């Protein structure tokens, strides 16, 4: 493959990432959430679908990149809850970058969705234990409960929407 062809592919992927990040901003940050947690986190109207879809289309490397960029943007939007720089890093860029792990499991896509959201859960779970609760069993249970309350419904919504899109052949992920 020529260098010009490789550059054209990279530009196309970057442009596509920009569109998917913008769609995520609209679905997750502009539209009102179904439910909003008091210290961050919410159940949205398919707010994670664009980032997961991009990761499934383009793979882990580009999916992690798009999630990280979205996480940085999300951290500076109104409603972000940052108490410490490391907590902010765990809850925003790293948590959303973890959604890109979905790109490692394209078939079946629901496994990719689960892996991406579990990655996000683990980042927010760690931030919850370190910065909001404690290392005690109560802190572990508290962080798991808090993050599970909004990420389990997000998983269900995302998995159902991606399943429907695949079954109806409205979008393709295998490029």
Taking only the tens place, the pLDDT of each residue in 17-72 is 999 999 999 999 899 889 888 777 889 999 999 999 999 999 999 999 999 999 99
26: number of Cβ within 10 Å: 11
- Condensed to tens digits (0 to 9), the pLDDT of residues 70-127 reads 999 999 998 888 888 999 999 999 999 999 999 999 889 999 999 999 999 999 999 8
Residue 92 backbone phi and psi in degrees, to 5 = -115, -85
Q: How many helices (H) and strands (E) does the chain have?
A: 7, 2
pLDDT at 40: 77
154 vs 45, 157, 161, CA distance in Å? 8, 5, 11
Strand runs labelled E in the chain: 35-36, 42-43
CA distance 5 to 147: 43
Task: Look up the CATH number of domain 3-167.
Answer: 1.10.1760.20
Sketch the domain layout of the chain as residue ranges. Answer: 3-167
pLDDT score for 73: 96
């Amino acid at each position: 493959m020529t260098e010009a062809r490789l550059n054209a592919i990279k530009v196309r992927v970057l442009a596509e990432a920009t569109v998917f990040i913008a769609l995520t901003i609209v679905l997750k940050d502009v539209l009102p959430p179904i439910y909003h947690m008091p210290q961050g986190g919410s159940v949205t109207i398919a707010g994670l679908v664009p980032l997961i879809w991009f990761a499934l289309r383009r793979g882990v490397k580009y999916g992690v990149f798009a999630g990280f960029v979205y996480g940085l943007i999300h951290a500076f939007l109104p409603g972000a809850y940052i108490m410490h720089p490391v907590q902010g890093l765990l809850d925003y860029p790293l948590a959303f970058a973890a959604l890109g792990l979905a790109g490692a499991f394209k078939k079946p896509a629901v496994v990719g969705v689960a892996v991406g959201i579990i990655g996000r859960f683990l980042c927010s779970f760690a931030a919850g234990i370190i910065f909001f609760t404690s290392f005690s069993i109560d802190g572990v249970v508290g962080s798991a409960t808090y993050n599970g309350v909004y990420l389990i419904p997000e998983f269900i919504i995302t998995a159902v929407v991606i399943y429907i899109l695949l079954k109806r052949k409205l979008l393709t992920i295998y490029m």
